[in-house]
Structures are given as structure tokens and as C-alpha cells.
Chains A and B, each alone.
Chain A
């Protein structure tokens, strides 16, 4: 098992990722945030990233979220790529927030 350093270009933060699990799984395992977590299985697209530098293994992912052209430009779903070298990554995907999620009832429970 080899470890590679993944650098998020917007924030400069780094993540130590092993080559036995996906980039997203490494992030979750380390209790880190930065890439939104959705289905974890290549279908929903919320964890979309762009690999600016470095190489990775890719597994099948939904073409609804990563087209052939985008794939050539380094776009991928973080749940479907495993680093095979150090990577520089830009986070592209986001959770759709069509409606506010925090409500009065929640504030009551969470004390916010």
C-alpha cells in the first residue's frame, strides 16, 4: 500500500491518500471535509473534482456528470478515482441547495 499526497488547489490543504481506496473514501476515513459526499458510487456527481496534476486510476462513473471531453480535461468523481501519484485537485462538485435546510426546529435542537 502506497500513500500519495493530494493537494486541494483552492485552499492549499493536503490529504494523505492510500492507493487502496478512492480519494473520497480517504477523505472520509480521515474525518476530513472539502469534497461533498453523495452516493459514493459514481452516480450522483456531487463529489466532482478536476485533477490538475498527477495520475490516478479511474473506475466507471456516470456520463451524466463527467463527459468524454471533461474526462480528457481531468474531471472525475472523487469516489471513483484512486491516486497513483501525488495529485493537485480542484473541487468542482457541490451539493444542490435549492431550499434552506436549517429551520427553527433544528435550531432548537442544535442550540444554534
Chain B
């Protein structure tokens, strides 16, 4: 299936408690490339293999968490159509003017039933990077500076009414559900994993009483070996590690969960399976919820359900 409409996660704006600590972590330890700072004090980054101006935006605030997550759509026509579709579905939308985020066009923002702010945008400046243009090399020195993920890949968000979120993403935004974890009754979903591409997931949700919470933003690594290198760097820099290195049953991803200096969880992961709209949704049952999340430990650590920002 040719990809149309929503293409991929494009950006996430993360709240940090101390910008100096945060820029050291995101720029030097995680190894993202700073691409700008705006008049609000927000700091912009991209990963070394990303072609657009920004994917991670930091905003200093008095609480941690995520302000919003944005998805790239294929055209202005799709942006208009999806805006009308979301409104017709009964969810109000607002237009945020071009230039509010550096080098980024108009964004359509709306609040989904879990309480999160989701955005769509069609335009963002493409940078000339060593990986763009003719005859590109496979990597460049930025690919070895810090943890150096390939891209911002997805986010896992916590909030209520995730079946309503699934209906919106599947029936309005064109995603498919790649995997799900069921609660003990076998009917209620604990977690849903959805993709707008052939990735294992582009966004995921876990049922949670409190709305608008962030579980993690995730960064894609080239290999399991690079995930282990990330673990080494985390210990070298005394980064607070939550879990791993290990493997997820869901998505088959090899992974580490750790926390940025403001307590926002992030993931470095590699090696996930593909998903396609014609595939059946893979279901994990409650009696195997431990293996679904942490395939080797086979049990959830309390922090998986209890620690969010």
C-alpha cells in the first residue's frame, strides 16, 4: 500500500525543568543535533539521519511531560481534508500559524480523548545533510557522537478512553492497529499500538486514569549492538535507567528505558517487526502481559504502569 495522508511522527515538544541540564543531555549524551532556538526559549533538535529541521523540541517549564506530538502529512490538501474529518468526527481543531515552530508550516492541533495534544502538519524545512542529495554515504561522524539515534520514532502515551483514541486514529487518521494487550477480562484493552506506516508502531497508548501523560518518547537505533552501546553511554554519564537492555514481546523491539534529567522517560530501541494494514492485530493476553512488555523478565516492573510525566 502506498503511503498517503499521515506519513510519520514528525515532532514532540518535551517539557524540561532545567534547560541547561536538558541541552547537555539531549545534545551531548543523546547526541541529537541542535538546529535552533526561538524567542520563547525553546530549543530544537534533529537526529543525524532525519531530513527535516526539527523532531525534538524542548521547552523549560515547572513540570515535566509532553506538550504535544506532531505528525507529518503528505500535502496541504491532506492537511485540509484531515482537519475537516477530525472536526466532522466531533473534535474541535485549531490552526497554529506557520513559523510558531521554527521552519515549520501551519499546524492543525486537536485534543484526543486521552487528553493529549496531537498535531498534523504538511510543511517543514528540509535540511541539506550528509545523508541527503546524490550518492549519500551510509553515515557521518554525527552518527557516532553520543547515543546518536537514527530518528525520533514513536511515543507511548498514557491516558483514559484509549478505545476512543483507537477509533479516531484508525477511522479518521488512517492508522492500523498492529498489536494490543488485553486486561484480565479479555475484552478491555490495557494497551494499543498503532501505525500509519509499515513500522511496528508510530504511536501507542496505555489505559491510565490521569489524562495527557507521557510514558516515553522513543529513538530508533541501527542495531542491538547500538542499543548496548547506548546502555554503556547511559552508565558512563550516570543516566537514570528504568529497564533493560532487554526485549519487548510486543513489536519484538530490543530496548532500554531511561530518564532524561527532568524525569521524562525515553527509549533507545532497534529491530522491530513490520506491520501492514492487512495483517491481523497481534493480541497479547493478560496472563502473558509480563512477556508482552519485557520478554526476558516476564513481569512488569511497577514503574512501567506507575511512573509517567
Residues of A within 8 A of B (CB): 36-44, 46, 60-65, 95-106, 109-110
Contact = CB atoms under 8 A, between A and B. Distances in A.
A97 B302 CA distance: 8
Contacts of B24: none
Interface of B: 17-18, 62-65, 183-184, 190, 207-209, 240, 242, 259-265, 286-291, 298-300, 302-303, 305-309
Nearest to B308: A44
29 contacts: A38-B263, A39-B240, A39-B259, A40-B240, A41-B64, A41-B262, A42-B262, A43-B63, A43-B262, A43-B263, A43-B264, A44-B307, A46-B306, A60-B17, A60-B18, A62-B262, A63-B62, A64-B62, A64-B63, A65-B63, A96-B209, A97-B306, A99-B183, A101-B299, A101-B302, A103-B299, A104-B287, A106-B290, A109-B299
Given A41-B263, A62-B263, A106-B290, A46 B307 contact: yes
Given A62-B17, A100-B184, A103-B287, 20 more contacts: A36-B302, A38-B307, A39-B307, A40-B240, A43-B263, A43-B264, A43-B309, A44-B263, A46-B306, A62-B62, A63-B63, A65-B63, A95-B306, A95-B307, A96-B209, A99-B183, A99-B190, A101-B299, A101-B305, A105-B298
B306 A38 contact: yes
Contacts of B260: 41
Contacts of B207: 98
Most chain B CB neighbours (cut-off 10 Å) among A36, A37, A38, A97: A38
A37 B264 CA distance: 14
Contacts, number: 107
B162 to A, nearest CB: 13
Nearest to B286: A103
A62 B64 contact: yes
B160 to A, nearest CB: 11
The 10 closest A-B pairs by CB, nearest first: A43-B263, A39-B263, A43-B64, A95-B306, A64-B63, A41-B263, A63-B62, A106-B299, A38-B307, A40-B240
